Amino acid sequence: MERVTLVGLLKLELPGRDILLCDGGVVPFDGQLYQSSDDVFGTVSMFEALTEGTGDELPAGTITFLPRDVAGAVELSQPAYQNSRLRMWIAEVDEASGLIIGQPDLMADWQTDKTVLRRATGTRALEIGCVTRSQRLLIRNDGNALTSPAHQRVFPRERGFDNAVGMDVEIPWGVVSPPRGVQRA
């Protein structure tokens, strides 16, 4: 009797390396080995499913990493990792062989946006906000976001925003935008 187990797979494509995680054990997929923990970035605690966008908003979600130490959280938060591709699949695994049966179902194809480090006594969690990759089709260049890459486009080599972490509210500057939730006629 064949026993099948469902497994979640996550691939975060960073410049220079990929993070390959699964929700238990070790699973080979697409010529790569997915493990339950990464040596630098730890494990995934949870992910918030994409929420549907309304009006000019696109779907967005959050994935939470439990990095091994603060250095892992800082490395994962570096500006060069913004807009990295993140994909998640659900796969069926043959329990006896440990191999994937058929083709996994792609559940999310996101790009990373901003990170927020949450700390409590004895714990740390790094939340990574993600948006769909189709967001690039709707980008309007009306101003500059309050981020390190946008700031450096205006002021090359000025690194003042590199250590601005933990900001929950995004404040656009250089543009006036309509308030969210207002219906247009």
Residue (of 47, 42, 45, 48) closest to 73 by Cα position: 42
What local confidence, expressed as pLDDT, does residue 11 receive? 96
pLDDT of 91 higher than 90: yes
Structure tokens at 163: 């250590």
For residue 107, count other CB atoms closer than 10 A to its CB.
Answer: 15
In the chain, the percentage of residues whose pLDDT exceeds 70 is: 74
Q: How much is the pLDDT for 177?
A: 57
pLDDT at residue 174 tops 90 = no
pLDDT in tens, 129-147: 888 876 656 655 555 566 7
Kindly list the distances between the CA atom of residue 88 and the CA atoms of 11, 23, 65, 123, 173, in Å, as whole numbers in the listed order.
6, 11, 14, 25, 33
Burial 70-96 (b: 16+ CB within 10 A, else e): eebbeebbeeebbebebbbbebbbeee
Average pLDDT, the chain: 80
DSSP 157-168: T--TTTT-----
List the beta strands (DSSP E) in the chain. Answer: 4-14, 17-22, 26-29, 32-35, 43-51, 60-66, 85-94, 100-120, 123-132
Q: State mean pLDDT over 159-168.
A: 66
More confident residue, 88 or 120: 88
Q: For a pLDDT cut of 90, what percent of the chain falls above it?
A: 31
Mean pLDDT over 32-60 rounds to: 79
pLDDT at 104 over 70: yes
